């Protein structure tokens, strides 16, 4: 579809594409169909395409003029392993797979901007359009970096965008400093001596130890971490015993959960303190504790200079005041791996009201297509302001 002056971002075609991607969601590192469509649309616009970085990742390169500054714009492409329960014409056709976080919209907004920039050529410099796989906990950003993203496509700054229900579709939030928390996983296995439920004194009760541990870990945030430093520790999985043998105290209890922080120092503290509590509880009850802390995603912290540039672009793109006091989220995003290497800014774009309370990762969530022009305009404006012709 050719865009006219009244439709610079091919909105009819891009809206149809967004809904097509929604109907055909793909999990992390499985975005074969999605990445093929992205590659085709970029090539069609005359943008150089590099396929297969991070398995299913796509990088589109657009170099115009003699400008030496190089920036990267990132959109994620993957869906979540969950069912879509809302009825809509473009409902997911893939069982237990759903675009419940708006990555279908993120992909289309960046694609619309890339095609527009390739047509208008109103900048001087280099833009790397990152279409990243596997943001949802599978390590897509890290995989792209480990396979040489910065060596193949060196950049001076990187930008990310995520939709946010609750803000209007022509509204954006841009805030310096922490935006998203680190996202780490931990497990503790208490190993006791199993025994008859009627004779607990003959064993070492891992169940009781686990119960005390579950209560005690919540004192870490309340009594050990500085109360002015946000942090979260949550137990999210428990495996012990058998409901067909309710007269048996089991030998082992396995507990797992998540830890979140906004600073490296608090992140280190959470890792250390969970282990201290686990070993202390184990000693109290005469059992053993095997503790493992898996560092998954660092916090997303917006760089002052990149944030200021994004703020100017957001104000110009929306024509309204930009929210600059938006609270950080305790969710995580592996955009953090990119912004840990070069100055970065992660911004929020309104997704309109949360219809029926459907926020991110909800089985009835849907990206709001009315946000497509705002997102595409933001990306375009950012490039044209950062890399003036």
pLDDT, tens digit, for every residue of 252-293? 999 999 999 999 999 999 999 999 999 999 999 999 999 999
Q: How many CB atoms lie within 10 A of CB 200?
A: 13
DSSP E strand boundaries for the chain: 48-53, 57-64, 70-76, 125-132, 157-164, 172-173, 177-180, 183-191, 195-196, 231-240, 248-249, 252-261, 288-297, 300-302, 344-350
Helix, strand or coil for residue 243?
Answer: coil
Cα distance from N-terminal residue to C-terminal residue, the chain: 26
Residue that has been written with the tokens 């503290």 in this structure: 269
Whole-angstrom distance, CA of residue 142 vs CA of residue 83: 27
> Residue 357's pLDDT is what?
79
> Residue 76's pLDDT is what?
98
CA angle 185, 182, 339 (to 5 degrees): 135
Residue 130 and residue 54 in contact, taking contact as beta carbons nearer than 8 Å: no
**Among positive and negative, which fits the CA dihedral 263, 266, 268, 271?**
negative
Helix, strand or coil for residue 27?
Answer: coil
Whole-angstrom distance, CA of residue 389 vs CA of residue 380: 13
> Residue 1's pLDDT is what?
38
User: Pick from 313, 389, 305, 343: which is nearest to 67 by CA?
Assistant: 389
Residue 297 and residue 225 in contact, taking contact as beta carbons nearer than 8 Å: no
* pTM for the structure as a whole: 0.92
Pairing of strands 125-132, 288-297: unpaired
Helix, strand or coil for residue 44?
Answer: helix
Burial 247-256 (b: 16+ CB within 10 A, else e): eebbbbbbbb
Strand partners, 74: 130, 160
Residue 153 and residue 128 in contact, taking contact as beta carbons nearer than 8 Å: yes
Token pair, residue 45, equals: 């616009």
Residue 322 and residue 311 in contact, taking contact as beta carbons nearer than 8 Å: yes
DSSP letters along 48-110, please?
Answer: EEEEEETTTEEEEEEEESS---EEEEEEE---BSS---S--TT---STT-B--SSHHHHHHHH
- Name the DSSP class of 369: G
CA 9 to chain centre: 25
Q: Which residues are catalytic?
A: 78, 135
> Residue 5's pLDDT is what?
60
User: Pick from 122, 108, 147: which is nearest to 17 by CA?
Assistant: 108
Token pair, residue 94, equals: 């893939």
- Name the DSSP class of 167: S
Residue 384 and residue 309 in contact, taking contact as beta carbons nearer than 8 Å: no
Kindly give the interhelix angle for 206-216 and 264-285, rounded to the nearest 10 degrees.
150
Q: Please list the ranges in the chain whose pLDDT falls under 50.
A: 1-4
> Residue 2's pLDDT is what?
43
């Amino acid at each position: 579809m050719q865009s006219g002056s009244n439709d610079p971002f091919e909105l009819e075609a891009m809206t149809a594409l967004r809904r097509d991607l929604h109907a055909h969601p793909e999990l992390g590192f499985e975005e074969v169909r999605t990445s093929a469509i992205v590659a085709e649309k970029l090539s069609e616009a005359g943008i150089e395409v590099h396929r297969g970085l991070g398995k299913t990742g796509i990088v589109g390169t657009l170099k115009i003029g003699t400008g030496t500054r190089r920036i990267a714009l990132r959109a994620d492409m993957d869906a979540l392993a969950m069912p879509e329960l809302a009825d809509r014409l473009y409902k997911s056709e893939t069982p237990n797979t759903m675009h419940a976080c708006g990555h279908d919209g993120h992909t289309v907004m960046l694609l619309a901007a890339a095609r527009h920039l390739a047509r208008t050529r109103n900048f001087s410099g280099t833009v790397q359009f990152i279409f990243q796989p596997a943001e949802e906990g599978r390590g897509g950003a890290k995989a792209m970096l480990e396979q040489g993203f910065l060596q193949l496509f060196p950049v001076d700054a990187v930008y990310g965008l995520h939709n946010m229900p609750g803000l209007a579709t022509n509204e954006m939030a841009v805030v310096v400093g922490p935006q998203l928390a680190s996202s780490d996983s931990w497990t503790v296995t208490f190993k006791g001596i199993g025994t008859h439920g009627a004779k607990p004194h003959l064993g070492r009760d891992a169940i009781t130890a686990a119960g005390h541990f579950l209560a005690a870990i919540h004192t870490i945030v309340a009594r050990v971490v500085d109360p002015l430093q946000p942090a979260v520790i949550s137990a999210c999985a428990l495996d012990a015993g058998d409901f067909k043998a309710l007269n048996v105290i089991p030998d082992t209890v396995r507990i797992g959960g998540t830890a979140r922080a906004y600073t490296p120092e608090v992140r280190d503290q959470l890792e250390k303190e969970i282990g201290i509590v686990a070993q202390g509880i184990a000693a109290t009850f005469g059992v053993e504790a095997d503790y493992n802390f898996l560092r998954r995603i660092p916090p997303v912290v917006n760089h002052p200079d990149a944030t200021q540039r994004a703020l100017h672009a957001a104000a110009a793109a929306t024509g309204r005041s930009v929210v600059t006091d938006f609270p950080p989220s305790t969710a995580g995003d592996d955009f953090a791996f990119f912004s840990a290497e070069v100055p970065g800014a992660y911004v929020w774009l309104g997704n309109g009201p949360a219809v029926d309370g459907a926020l991110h990762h909800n089985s009835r969530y849907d990206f709001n297509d009315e946000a497509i022009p705002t997102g595409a305009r933001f990306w375009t404006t950012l490039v044209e302001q950062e890399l003036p012709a």
